[in-house]
Copies of this chain bind each other. A is one copy, B any other.
Amino acid sequence: MYIYKVIKPTRKQEIIQVAATLFKEKGYSAVSMRDIAQAMHIKAASLYNHISGKQEILSTLILEVAEAFTTEMSAITAETLPTLKKIERVIEIHIDITVNYSENIATLNNDWMHLEGDDLKQVVKMREAYEENFRRIIKQGLSQGEIKPQHPEVILFSILSTLRNLYLWNEKRGKMDVNVLKKDMVAVLIKGII
């Protein structure tokens, strides 16, 4: 179905990935360029041959995953599906993106406020657009009677909180098949527990 080709990452990509792991553990502000360099067994000054600074690492990391969410959410919005199928799709893409970008999501969630200038504006905008798309799906479901008459913001908040925190759950989930997780998450979030 897919053909995977193993490509040697550029030095820049290596730096960003190492930084991502450290950012996930301690947060952007608590990780120094020296920490990143040490994890790569080089000196901090050498990093600047590949990247312009710490900010570039942050914005690359965050924009990459923010764009993934935006792209996938646009695709769902464009489809014509019943509300419940759309919500299912939102849950599924969150799980897929989390599996592939767990460190990026940690940084997006916890360190977006340390972005500067246009990057900050852009990410805030993307997040708002994403939420608004999701809100519209829920409201449509409510107006068509597909969803129980509950406060839409409470529904939006509870589903989105769970999905945004999935990155915290990668060890336990490691043993769980992704497709099983999708099914279970959909069941719990949509049908409840009783």
Q: Which of B114, B154, B164, B187 contacts A188 (CB 8 A)?
A: B154
A87 closest partner in B (C-beta):
B193
Q: Assess whether A5 is interfacial by the CB under 8 Å rule.
A: no
A14 CB, min distance to chain B CBs, angstroms: 24
Q: Assess whether A190 is interfacial by the CB under 8 Å rule.
A: yes
The residues of B that contact A191 with a CB separation of less than 8 Å are 148, 192, 194
Contact between chains at A157 and B147 (CB < 8 Å): no
Contact between chains at A188 and B26 (CB < 8 Å): no
Contact between chains at A162 and B158 (CB < 8 Å): yes
A98 CB, min distance to chain B CBs, angstroms: 12
A60 CB, min distance to chain B CBs, angstroms: 19
Contact with B along A142-162 (1 / 0, CB 8 A): 000011101101110110011
The residues of B that contact A26 with a CB separation of less than 8 Å are 29, 113-114
CA distance A118 to B153 in the complex (A): 40
CA distance A162 to B154 in the complex (A): 10
CA distance A187 to B194 in the complex (A): 11
The residues of B that contact A161 with a CB separation of less than 8 Å are 161-162, 164-165, 168
The residues of B that contact A162 with a CB separation of less than 8 Å are 157-158, 161-162
A contacts, CB < 8 Å to B:
25-30, 84, 110-111, 113-114, 141, 146-148, 150-151, 153-155, 157-158, 161-162, 164-165, 168-169, 172, 176, 181, 184-185, 187-194
A147-B193, A148-B194 given; name 7 further pairs at CB < 8 Å: A26-B114, A110-B110, A148-B193, A158-B162, A158-B185, A161-B161, A189-B193
- Pairs across A and B, CB under 8 Å, 11 listed: A26-B114, A27-B29, A29-B29, A148-B191, A150-B184, A150-B187, A157-B162, A157-B165, A158-B185, A191-B192, A192-B193
